[in-house]
Chain A
Amino acid sequence: MLEIKDLNAWYGESHILHGVDFNVQEGEVVTLLGRNGAGKTTTMKSIMGLVPRREGHVKFKGAETIGMMPNQIAKSGIAICPEERGIFGSLSVTENLMLPPIVAPGGLSVDEIYTLFPNLKERAKTAHGTRLSGGEQQMLAIGRILRTGAKMLLLDEPTEGLAPVIVQQIGRTIREIKNRGFTVLLVEQNFRFAATVADRHYVMEHGKIVDMIPNKELETNMDKLHEYLGV
């Protein structure tokens, strides 16, 4: 579904990604694990075309996207839920939810999104999206990309800073959308959470992928993982 080869990315003079290689199969949930500054978020942004300069190969459904504009990449069926959530304060909750254009059939309906996140339904009339709590903003940020019909979702630290009960709700959501055939690339600091949803884990260090651990082998690789993540 997504095939990344020798991906390099820069912010101005700083070279952040140094030849990232990995792939995500259709229907999989794959995480990128790694310490702060390893290049996880930059990898997400590079897939979406949101970095000033990127080189290498990002193939989506077999088609090269490295030369495309972010809006073209989105139209091809990839959607991002950014780390800072990207909820718009000048838009109401409903406007935030309806903002991303439909790119393909097969997205969730608004009712289905409200079933996944009942809080959003209660807060739908809120005039400014940023008035929502952190957890509600995260649900909104995930909910709005489920509508678009994009089947490849990039979720950047969806559990960061959230209460355990909301983390569980987001975990349930990820498993639910996996069952519906979505493919998810997930950035996580919290590998205990990642272990509950993912099929495979890639470990990033210094702008490169250094290891791949299938979720089944996570237990046997605990020592190694602790070393990678420094926890």
Chain B
Amino acid sequence: MFMIFGIPGPLLFGQLLLGLINGAFYAMLSLGLAVIFGMLNIINFAHGALFMMGAFVAWMLLNYIGIGYFPALILAPLIVGAFGILLEKTIISRLYKLDHLYGLLLTFGLSLVIEGLFRNGYGSSGLPYRIPAALQGAMDLGFMFMPIYRGWVVLAAAVVCLATWAIIEKTSLGATLRAATENAPLVQAFGVNVPRLITLTYGGGIALAAFAGVLAAPIYSVNPNMGTNFINTVFAVVVIGGMGSILGSIVTGFALGVVEGLTKVFYPQASATVVFVVMVIVLLTRPRGLFGKAA
């Protein structure tokens, strides 16, 4: 067995891969948070609960009507995204004229309600979701064995993140979104239906979270707390990357997953806190985050 820095190679690469996978979820979740924060000026605390809903909807599709993993990857984000649009239209949109804090409180409350409902219906011990047959097994990469599903998660997450980035930075819809983030009244005065754009943005951010939830379902068990486990770290990622920065949240998400994975190898005791240590250092040296723009 070969060694790197006194660590067995397979262990190191195994933790790196785990880190990349966690990073993939951080990236998808913080990306949605960044997009929503940019447009709605709301810190969406319900993000973790809606991620969890994505996993549950995939589970329900499979167990109640026999719809499998791949269709669920499309359907669950659509269903949960539509639910997000409903939330935005009926409740969240009433808060835009108030302080940030109210949006934070409301979405935090929403996440408690949503998680409570699922705990009530399905318990908190977790439901199994099998890896689809096409993605089972492992590949021998020479230096390590990689479970195919894990490789797929990293790949799918990277593609979705890049596609989101491209839509925002390279299309005319994205230009309208960026402009509305800067000066919504003026964009509306040019004839753009900004309230509708805001609703769709929220729906899109939520769909991203639900997509991540479906990807997560076969890895972690489908349980009502799965969002909460992620979301604390994800908020740290958003702070480190810089509030509202698209590229920042993608890069920071993946990078911090890897940092966490490496810490597990070299100093396991710190693996749960390392992200927050990085956050403290970044806040002390660059209060706007690594990719944040000066106001």
List the interface of chain A (C-beta within 8 A of B).
48-50, 69-71, 73-75, 79-80, 82, 86, 88-91, 95, 98-101, 103, 145, 148
| Complex-state Cα separation, A100 to B188, whole angstroms | 9
Chain A residues, CB < 8 A from B188 = 69-71, 74
How close is A222's CB to chain B, nearest CB, in angstroms? 36
Chain B residues, CB < 8 A from A69 = 188
When A98-B172, A99-B175, A99-B176 are in contact, do A70 and B181 touch as well, CB less than 8 Å?
no
Chain B residues, CB < 8 A from A91 = 175, 178-179
When A91-B175, A91-B178 are in contact, do A101 and B192 touch as well, CB less than 8 Å?
yes
- Specify which of A82, A86, A88, A103 is in contact with B191 (CB 8 Å cutoff): A103
How close is A48's CB to chain B, nearest CB, in angstroms? 5
Chain A residues, CB < 8 A from B182 = 88-90
| Complex-state Cα separation, A89 to B179, whole angstroms | 8
Contact B183 A86 (CB under 8 A): yes
9 tightest Cβ-Cβ pairs between the two chains A and B: A74-B191, A100-B190, A95-B175, A70-B189, A90-B178, A70-B188, A86-B186, A88-B179, A71-B188
When A86-B183, A90-B181 are in contact, do A80 and B175 touch as well, CB less than 8 Å?
no
| Complex-state Cα separation, A88 to B293, whole angstroms | 14
Chain A residues, CB < 8 A from B189 = 48-50, 70-71, 73-74, 80
Interface-centre pick from A71, A75, A91, A100 (highest chain B CB count, 10 A): A71
Chain A residues, CB < 8 A from B131 = none
What does the 1/0 interface line of B177-216 toward A look like (CB < 8 Å)? 0110111011111111110000000000000000000000
By beta carbon, the residue of chain B nearest A89 is B182
How close is B167's CB to chain A, nearest CB, in angstroms? 14
Contact A100 B185 (CB under 8 A): no
When A50-B185, A86-B183 are in contact, do A71 and B193 touch as well, CB less than 8 Å?
yes
Contact A82 B186 (CB under 8 A): yes
